[in-house]
Copies of this chain bind each other. A is one copy, B any other.
């Protein structure tokens, strides 16, 4: 699975703590991590939590990533912004049981975690435990398993609800503030990571035109 990592400006100093914890867990499970930044508070390209959401929408809908790990100070801002995007189902995860239940019940494609609130000493242990509970099991099996069918049914209904409420991503990309979008795709490694993995030619073309503008 292609897992994208997105870090917001207020927590950029923790970028490598999160990145290291994520890689330590998911690489041995055979997944790849694509770190879209921020990499440090000094990055020239800055991402707000709103941009985290827009970037998540871009990565998921273009299939450049199968799953996005993001967050912010409390995790709530990125959670709101991600879930504003078509096709993105982003769970707020605080502890390992949250991670497991989100994987089994909601089976979404993004998580947002708090990297400031509650993030004290030894928080890297909790990060790893959460990632492990999310990525080391097959997801979507339900918990308890006897309720798998009704849980899958509700996920399907939620997916349809979201299709009724959101424009498709290409439309969103075209109608959103273009300066915001340009800043969202300005990360140091964005070009390298995105265009090699994007599986939607129209979206790729549009993002190229925005970057060139």
- Nearest opposing residue in chain B for A81, CB measure: B158
Decide if A44 is an interface residue (CB 8 Å cutoff). Answer: no
Question: CB < 8 Å: which of B80, B86, B117, B121 contacts A83?
Answer: B80
* Range for the number of chain A residues in contact with chain B: 35 or more
Q: Would you call B105 and A74 a contact (CB within 8 A)? A: yes
* Oligomer: number of copies: 4
In the complex, what's the smallest C-beta–C-beta distance from A135 to chain B, in angstroms? 15
- Nearest opposing residue in chain B for A106, CB measure: B76
Q: Would you call A123 and B122 a contact (CB within 8 A)? A: no
How far does the alpha carbon of A105 sit from the alpha carbon of B50 in the complex, in Å? 13
> What are the nearest 8 A-B pairs in CB distance?
A83-B83, A116-B121, A119-B120, A164-B176, A92-B92, A164-B175, A84-B162, A165-B172
Which residues does A use to contact B, with CB under 8 Å?
48-50, 53-54, 57, 73-74, 76-77, 79-81, 83-86, 89-92, 94-98, 100-102, 105-106, 108, 114, 116-123, 125-126, 129, 143, 154, 157-158, 160-162, 164-167, 172, 175-177, 180
Residues on the B chain within 8 Å of A96, using CB: 95-96, 125-126, 129
Q: Would you call B84 and A102 a contact (CB within 8 A)? A: no
How far does the alpha carbon of A200 sit from the alpha carbon of B102 in the complex, in Å? 36
Residues on the B chain within 8 Å of A101, using CB: 74, 76, 117, 122, 125
Q: Would you call B172 and A164 a contact (CB within 8 A)? A: yes
